[in-house]
Copies of this chain bind each other. A is one copy, B any other.
Amino acid sequence: MIPTKIDIEASYSRVQPFVHRTPILTSTLINEITGTIVYFKCENLQKTGAFKIRGAINAIHQLSKKQKKAGVVTHSSGNFAQAVSLAAKQLGVKAYIVMPSNSPKIKIDAVKKYGGIITFSETTVISREMLAKQIQQKTGATFLHSSNNINVILGQGTAAVEFFEDHTELDFVITPVGGGGLIAGTALAAKYYGNNCKVIGGEPFVADDAYRSLISGKIENNTNTNTIADGLKTQLGDINFPIIKELVDEIIRVKESEIIDAMKLFWERMKIIIEPSSAVPFAALIRNKDRFKNKNIGIIITGGNVDLSHLPF
């Protein structure tokens, strides 16, 4: 069941008052290098430094009064932890956040600042999931999945709604693919607001579960996720995959060195800090620039939360 235009419109109304309308930036030099006209939707300048607040707002906003009173719980080592904490705070809801004990201090501090109630887990996914479940049972909090939740997906799609409001001429939108929430939401936005705009995913070669899933028609697993694009290690889910299968045109895979080069080029030319995951769609464009020649390309820059002490260049 693909959500309707009314679903995404309603999500946009819910999300809009709580987020920045992020700028869409361009660079003459990057257009020259790629031979395309490329627009960057800068969700790295979004509240919490990433697009994920959109999905968190949309999901928490729709909880019942009773659910809101009990709070929400999620597990995340990354941007979703901050997103849920701030979204919950904005909506007056308690947020229980399970974070691996080795999470970067800056992320832990940010979650605390937004009022998230942290429980530290071991670093394995199983430990995180188990702890989140325990908290859910103890507190009655609603579990929020970072990507496999239809309201999260619809919320993430609102970045692309803004994109299409300003640029109806986009021929392609390229997003990174991790858990699949953003690309599914973007594909929905493109279906209802785009002008025959195709949606393409960018994915690291070393964590190409989405690429293989689109080919096989069923959700494939990653055996190895040793990528610098740490936001893209998660798997697709049974709620976002049907949307991706129906509406996403293609997944383009990129090498680790291409991700680093694209990230550096972006930092140097745009003067904007993007995290490695956000460089993946840009790397996909550069890798295929002949194919995209003279087209209008939209790229969603998903986040800017990087550890400045451990840069890859």
- Interface of A toward B, CB cutoff 8 Å: 23, 25, 29, 44-45, 49, 106, 113, 264, 267-268, 271-274, 304, 308-309, 311, 313
10 of the cross-chain contacts (CB-CB < 8 Å) are A25-B45, A29-B113, A44-B271, A45-B271, A106-B268, A272-B272, A273-B273, A308-B313, A309-B313, A311-B311
Q: Collect the chain B residues with CB atoms within 8 Å of residue A313's CB.
A: 308-309
Question: Which residue of B106, B113, B304, B309 contacts A271 across the interface (Cβ within 8 Å)?
Answer: B304
Top 5 closest pairs, chain A to chain B, by CB: A271-B304, A271-B273, A44-B271, A308-B313, A45-B271
A236 to B71, CA, bound (A): 59
If over half of A's interface residues share one DSSP class (helix, strand or loop), that class is named, otherwise mixed; here it is: mixed
Q: Which residue of B lies closest to A271 (CB)?
A: B304
Q: How far does the Cβ of A108 sit from chain B's closest Cβ, in whole Å?
A: 14
With contact pairs A23-B23, A273-B272 given, residues A267 and B308 touching in the complex (Cβ less than 8 Å): yes
Question: Looking across the interface, which residue of chain B has its beta carbon closest to that of A47?
Answer: B28
* A253→B313 CA distance, assembly (Å): 32
Across the interface, A272 reaches (CB within 8 A) one of B264, B268, B271, namely B271
CB nearest to A44 among chain B residues:
B271
- Identify the interface centre among A45, A264, A309, A313: most chain B CB within 10 Å of its CB: A45
A49 touches B271 (CB 8 A): yes
Among the listed B23, B45, B268, which residue makes an inter-chain contact with A308, where contact means beta carbons less than 8 Å apart? Answer: B268
Closest Cβ of chain B to A272, distance in Å, is 6
Please measure, in the bound complex, the distance between the C-alpha atom of A106 and the C-alpha atom of B271, giving whole angstroms: 14
Neighbouring B residues of A23 by C-beta, 8 Å: 23
In the complex, residue of chain B having the shortest beta-carbon distance to the beta carbon of A307: B268
Q: Nearest Cβ in chain B — how far from A198, in angstroms?
A: 28
Q: Which residues of B contact A44 (CB under 8 A)?
A: 271
- Contacts A45-B271, A264-B308 aside, 9 further interface pairs with beta carbons under 8 A come to A25-B45, A29-B113, A49-B271, A106-B268, A267-B308, A268-B308, A272-B272, A272-B273, A309-B313
